[in-house]
Structure 1
Amino acid sequence: MLSNGLRPALPLLTLLALLALLLTLFATPAPAQDRAGAERQFRVWLERTVWPQARAKGVSRRTFDAAFAGVALNWDLPDLVPPGTKPKTPKAQRQAEFGAPGKYFNRGAVDGATRVGRQMAQRHAAALKRVEAKTGVPGRIVLGIWGRESGYGRAAIRHDAFAVLGTKGFMSTRAEYFTDELIAALQIAEAGHVAPRAMKSSWAGALGQPQFMPSSFLAHAADGDGDGRADIWGSQADTIASIGSYLKRHGWVPGRDWGFEVTVPPSVSCTLEGPDQGRPIAEWEAMGIARVSGRPFPAQELRGEGYLLMPAGRHGPAFIVTPNFYVLKAYNMSDLYALFVGHVGDRIRFGMGDFTARWGDVGGLYRSDIAAMQRALERLGHDVGGADGLPGFRTRRSIGRWQEATGRAASCFPDAGVVAALAD
């Protein structure tokens, strides 16, 4: 025993261990969300919020219970906001890159969709012909969408729709939207189109082979095989009919094409792009725009309105598109998506090859960089369509207008130089 009453000094290694423990305790983030508690709150939410809305829409208690039997929250989904937390603000450097447009048309995706699409065109010729006669939508366009959405039904769609929509309705950044879609999914089950456990979706809640959100299913799904149900999971005929129905109800114009690849002379500014700057195709032709094939525009198209589309600005193929192109965009609000569908459809039906013009080596910018550029353009008075980090046609032509106003050659597409110049 020591006479001075002091305790012996701790060995150095012990002190270091204690210091490391303290640092660990202070560095450890707040305890993880009480998932068991969240599951209990989820069940309360289903009873108090979802069930009254579902019952008001004609959903029976039997269907409701079957839909959520064994369903738990899916914690692996993105954009979740668990109870008691706030939405996270993503760091700029972690935001996704905006890829080069040419990557969307990679060799495997285009060739695969074309090859299998030709097989499907033969196998389902009768169903495609019926849909075209009923809706005016060409079979090749239906095939293009079907191939892009689910690989003609070959892509695995494994998620339980009620788990996905329930999770996102209960705790996501767009909870109200997904709650409405959850109610629509219950209505689908109530109508007997598919059993609850067989209602498979993507991670975002899109259903079946055509990837309809539940509300779109209720509005547009069709019975193509005459069995009284619209089964977009197991029936190819129903899938074909449903895609045709969707496009017809969104305004597909029978007898018109979706668009044509063209050459745009330097005298025609890329700032003329956009669906709000349309003019008769005959006028575009008079300005020097010509089809890459060397053939004239079809006579019936010359009288109709057309729109300049340059999805990579001066760094890629250019097109004159028709109102039907924007019907395709109603399926997925992406110029590249609609272009892919039309292009693959043409390859399936007409044996067309690649676009004549090549995609330039552009893209690879962070969405946060593009959003900052968009905000700079907005401060200069340009309408970029919102600072969302995605260079849509309003952003592209705003870049071109700024370039022209500052004595630069108009490219109408963001690159590192444009971003840097606007940041100054």
Structure 2
Amino acid sequence: MPPNSHLRIYSLLLLLALGACSSTPTQQSNSQQNIVIQADDANTEARYSQSLNALLNQVSQTQEIPIQTLEMGFLDAKTIPSIRKLVLPPSGTFKKNWLAYRKRFIEPVRLKAGRAFLEENQAFLGQVEQNYGVPAEVIAAIIGIETIYGRQTGNFRVKDVLSTLAFSYPDTPNKPAREQLFKDQLQELILLCWTEAGGQLPAKNSAQGISQGRFNSCLNQNSSYAGAIGLPQFMPSSIRSFAVDGDGDGRIDLKQSPKDAIASVANFMKKHGWQTGMPISFPVQESGLNAAKELADGEPQLKHTVAELIQKGILSPQQGDLQRGGVEPQSKGLIIDLPYPGKDGSDQAQYFVGLNNFLTIVQYNRSYFYAQSVAEFAEALGYKNQSAVPAEPSQKTSSSKDASDKPKSKNKKSSPKKKSK
């Protein structure tokens, strides 16, 4: 699935800070430092080449893809040192800033582009909403936050990104897990490009008809610094698992086809548990702030019933009423705290109750900042963050009572039609 967008902000700020703190050493220490760096780079490149070749041989054997095809595709692969810096976690003194994050994405340029995107794709978005149950505004919000509707899809070759992070990840506490993740994504990219070039999986005796040019072109396509591709910024595994042909031209193109991107986002959300007609999150009531602070543990799990949260004053009674835009009292939520530094430097936070659909967005990008930004961006585009369910039968009957007041036949039973989203 797609990367954590807020890390990009933190990493860039960290790079600026490092540049500002650099000092000017003596000429001798400069020379010594350069020698160390060059030796380290040489060792890094050697390990990179060996590890990449090992992976290509493994994929060739397990998937029966000709090794010559793989070697030709990765002949000019290289590490990108700047990527290793971009994926570094923020420094220990860095304070997360929800207000700054929100301002970066929910701003006039993106909103104007979002309204234009909704208008240009109105008919198709309506069709997709009917088929998948995901609101058009939520789909538009995701694509808008990810790439401003294709304006910012990344400038790195995806094979270089994934191979760099798979075999030359910086020394961080989670380095082994991150390297394995990107090794998996690199293999997914190879399989994706193999099928796009005309190959079949498993690849037994399918070398004939394979286009080396198309295979190479797929490997060389642009991506983000984390290997995410196209308008919706899908990782290779997500493209293989969730991307769909929205425009019906027989191929999936997340870079140039808005319809493919729209349908793919909707399919991802549906497959990850999106609940049609249900809201995303609710703001915490002022009276329940202290109770919310005690329950905010950062774990992405639906732990507390809405009825319990109403009892504690965290939510209002209306938010536990389906017919008034809320949810079922026994449905569950989690407390979301979005920190930011106050004007005096003190730690502040905004609090929300995340519902099932909030966690679905978190599956797209594992960041509470991201998920709440999607929710608020969608609302700015016209999304109603409330339940959309049919009226109770008794309400429907009383509101549509026959004007002649004639009794209906006991043998005929009428039921209200469900309102589809």
| TM-score class, shorter | 0.5 to 0.7
- Please give the per-residue CA displacement for 1:82-128, whole angstroms capped at 9, x wherever unaligned: xxxxxxx99x9x55612321111116643333221111111112222
- Are 1:308 and 2:361 an aligned pair? no
Partner of residue 285, structure 1: 310
- Is 1:68 aligned to residue 101 of structure 2? no
Q: Which residue of the partner structure matches residue 383 of structure 1? A: none
Q: Give the Å deviation of 1:171.
A: 1.9
- Which of 123, 127, 130 in structure 2 is aligned with 1:126? 123
Task: Return 210-219 or 172-181, whichever deviates more.
Answer: 172-181
**Residue 105 of structure 1: which of 85, 102, 106 is its match?**
102
Which position in structure 2 is the counterpart of 1:319? 352
Aligned length: 323
Q: Distance in 1 between matches of 2:148 and 2:353?
A: 28
Pick one of 199, 204, 210 that aligns with 2:226: 204
Shift, 1:242, TM fit: 1.1
Partner residue of 2:371?
338
- Residues 61 and 311 of structure 1: CA distance in aligned 2, closer, same or farther (over 3 Å): same
Q: Distance in 1 between matches of 2:31 and 2:104?
A: 51
Cα pair distance change 1:145/1:291, threshold 3 Å: farther
Distance change in 2, residues 1:151/1:239 (3 Å) = same
Distance 2:44 2:337 in 1: 48
1:358-397 matches, within 5 Å, as: none
Q: Which moved more, 1:55-64 or 1:256-265?
A: 55-64
* Cα distance in 2 between the residues matched to 1:132 and 1:335: 24
Tell me how far apart the structure 1 counterparts of residues 264 and 33 of structure 2 sit (CA, whole Å): 54
SS at match of 1:339: helix
Greater RCO, 1 or 2 (C-alpha within 8 Å, sep 6+): 2
1:139 aligns with 2:136: yes
Q: Which stretch shows the higher mean deviation, 270-279 or 153-162? A: 270-279
1:73, 1:182 → 2: CA distance?
Answer: 14
Q: For residues 31-53 of structure 1, what are the alpha-carbon distances to aligned partners after superposition, in whole Å with 9 as ceiling and x for unaligned?
A: 51375676566444433332322
What's the secondary structure of 1:97's corresponding residue? Answer: coil
| Aligned partner (choices 283, 286, 291) of residue 268 of structure 1 | 291
Identify if the C-alpha distance between structure 1 residues 66 and 153 changes in structure 2 by more than 3 Å, giving closer, same or farther.
farther
Query: What is the rounded CA distance, in whole Å, between the counterparts of 2:319 and 2:47 in structure 1?
Result: 64
Judge conservation of contact 1:50–1:179 (CA < 8 Å) in 2.
no
What pairs up with 1:200-239 in 2 under 5 angstroms?
200-239=222-261
Match of 1:12 in 2: none
CA offset at residue 315 of structure 1? 3.6
Alignment partner of 1:208: what SS?
A: coil
Distance in 2, Cα, partners of 1:171 & 1:327: 31
Which stretch has the larger CA shift, 234-243 or 261-270?
261-270
Give identity over the alignment, percent.
Answer: 26
- 1:178 counterpart (176, 182, 185): 182
Residue 269 of structure 2 aligns to a residue whose secondary structure is helix
Matches of 1:25 and 1:107, distance apart in 2: 41
Q: Is the 8 A contact 1:261 1:291 kept in 2?
A: no
Gap change, CA 1:278 and 1:25, over 3 Å in 2: closer
Counterpart Cα distance in 1 of 2:349 and 2:189 = 41
> What is the TM-score when the length of structure 1 is the normalising length?
0.66
Amino acid paired to 2:272: H
Opposite residue 147 of structure 2, the aligned amino acid is: S
SS at match of 1:105: helix
Q: Distance in 2 between matches of 1:277 and 1:164?
A: 35
Please, which moves more after superposition, 202-211 or 57-66?
57-66
Once the 2 structures are TM-superposed, how far is the Cα of residue 214 of structure 1 from its aligned partner? 1.2
Quote the offset at 1:162 in angstroms: 0.8
Partner of 2:411: none
Q: Give 1:321 shift.
A: 2.6
Whole-Å separation in 1 of the counterparts to 2:315 and 2:228: 39
Residue 344 and residue 23 in structure 1: after superposition, are their counterparts in 2 closer, same or farther (change >3 A)? closer
Q: Tell me what 2:162 maps to.
A: 165
TM-score, structure 2 length as denominator? Answer: 0.66
- What is the CA–CA distance in structure 1 between the aligned matches of 2:46 and 2:104, rounded to whole Å? 48
Q: 1:315 to 1:297 in 2, by over 3 A?
A: farther
Secondary structure class of the residue paired with 1:120:
helix
Shift of 1:137: 1.4
Residue 382 of structure 2 corresponds to residue 349 of structure 1: yes
Bigger-Rg structure (1/2): 1
* Superposed displacement of residue 24, structure 1: 6.5
Aligned CA distance change for structure 1 residues 27 and 112 (closer, same or farther; 3 Å): closer
Aligned residues of 1:59 and 1:187 also touching (Cα < 8 A): no
Q: Which residue of 2 aligns with 1:153?
A: 150
